């Protein structure tokens, strides 16, 4: 059965700065962290030369998006000011815009002022780990800028979220959260919303695997889903080692996410994720 024939039809296009993105087949988003302390050391790119080199590598390997973040959201990460986050981020955005003008840039921030500055510098998408909960101005800013918005589920803050992983029913609570947030965004006129279940954010590994097993049930919301599980503790806590050892497990879990209907894989390792998409598509030709 083709995806278009299923009862619940997801939105499969995004308007990113006048560029129409087609999500009818899964896409890959490459992570570039302009931070000294993100949990996976190889993702840290703290000068423009390394940012440009990483962007070129990821785009060549098939990334449809680049996700830039200048605030580490790993558990217990050090808080930094909006000014410091902006100072880290904008030179990287400007460098990518200059060197790769066709690149689609997502900005990983929960601060409306940082997001707006990056969009004005040439970025296209706002990726908010807090779902608007850490900045009351975020939803209105997204609506005013009319850019795609990645709505993630999280409780607490990066500094407190580990203690917040308590649910009576994790699926029901995440689903209800999305229903309420989607309604609020649509009331403001936001057109392009992508859902992120927030693996590793105020969730234990067991809760994350439960959400993964039921991911397809979010199709009823008729919105694209982004999966961000790359090299996370839910993988290497099960398989052993550290984030450095978690590429194989990441590829395995990304493939499972594809079978569950994810539309975007957010990853540190673009080549491997693109290969997983190609192999999955070859096994499921009627889904594209």
Catalytic residues: 232, 266
Separation of alpha carbons 253 and 123, rounded Å: 29
Residue 243, helix vs strand vs coil: helix
Separation of alpha carbons 6 and 4, rounded Å: 6
Question: Which residue from 208, 204, 201 is spatially nearest to 253, judged by alpha carbons?
Answer: 208
Residue 193, helix vs strand vs coil: strand
Pairing status of strand 264-267 against strand 225-227: parallel
Separation of alpha carbons 43 and 31, rounded Å: 7
CA angle 195, 144, 16 (to 5 degrees): 55
Altogether, the residues listed in the chain come to a count of 288
Separation of alpha carbons 284 and 280, rounded Å: 6
- Three-state SS annotation for 129-149: CCCCCCCCCHHHHHHHHCCCE
The Cβ-side half-sphere exposure at 42, using a 13 Å CA radius, reads 13
């Amino acid at each position: 059965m083709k995806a278009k024939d299923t009862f619940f039809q997801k939105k499969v296009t995004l308007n990113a700065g006048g560029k129409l993105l087609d999500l009818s087949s899964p896409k890959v988003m490459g992570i570039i962290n302009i931070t000294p302390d993100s949990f996976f050391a190889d993702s840290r790119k703290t000068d423009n030369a390394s940012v440009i080199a990483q962007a070129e590598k990821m785009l060549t390997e098939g990334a449809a998006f680049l996700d830039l973040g200048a605030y580490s959201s790993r558990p217990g990460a050090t808080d930094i000011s909006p000014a410091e986050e902006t100072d880290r981020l904008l030179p990287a955005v400007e460098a990518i815009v200059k060197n790769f003008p066709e690149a689609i840039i997502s900005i990983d921030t929960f601060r409306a002022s940082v997001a707006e500055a990056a969009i004005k510098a040439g970025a296209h998408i706002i990726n908010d780990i807090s779902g608007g909960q850490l900045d009351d101005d975020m939803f209105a800013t997204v609506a005013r800028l009319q850019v795609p918005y990645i709505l993630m589920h999280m409780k607490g803050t990066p500094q407190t979220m580990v203690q917040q992983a308590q649910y009576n029913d994790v699926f029901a609570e995440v689903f209800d959260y999305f229903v309420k947030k989607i309604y609020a965004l649509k009331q403001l006129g936001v057109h392009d919303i992508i859902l992120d279940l927030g693996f590793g954010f105020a969730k234990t590994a067991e809760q994350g695997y439960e959400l993964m097993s039921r991911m397809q049930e979010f199709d009823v919301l008729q919105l694209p889903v982004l999966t961000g599980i790359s090299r996370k503790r839910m993988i290497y806590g099960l398989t052993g080692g550290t984030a450095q050892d978690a590429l194989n497990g990441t590829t395995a879990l990304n493939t499972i996410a594809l079978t569950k209907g994810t539309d975007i894989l957010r990853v540190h390792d673009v080549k491997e994720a693109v290969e997983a998409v190609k192999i999955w598509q070859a096994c499921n030709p009627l889904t594209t």
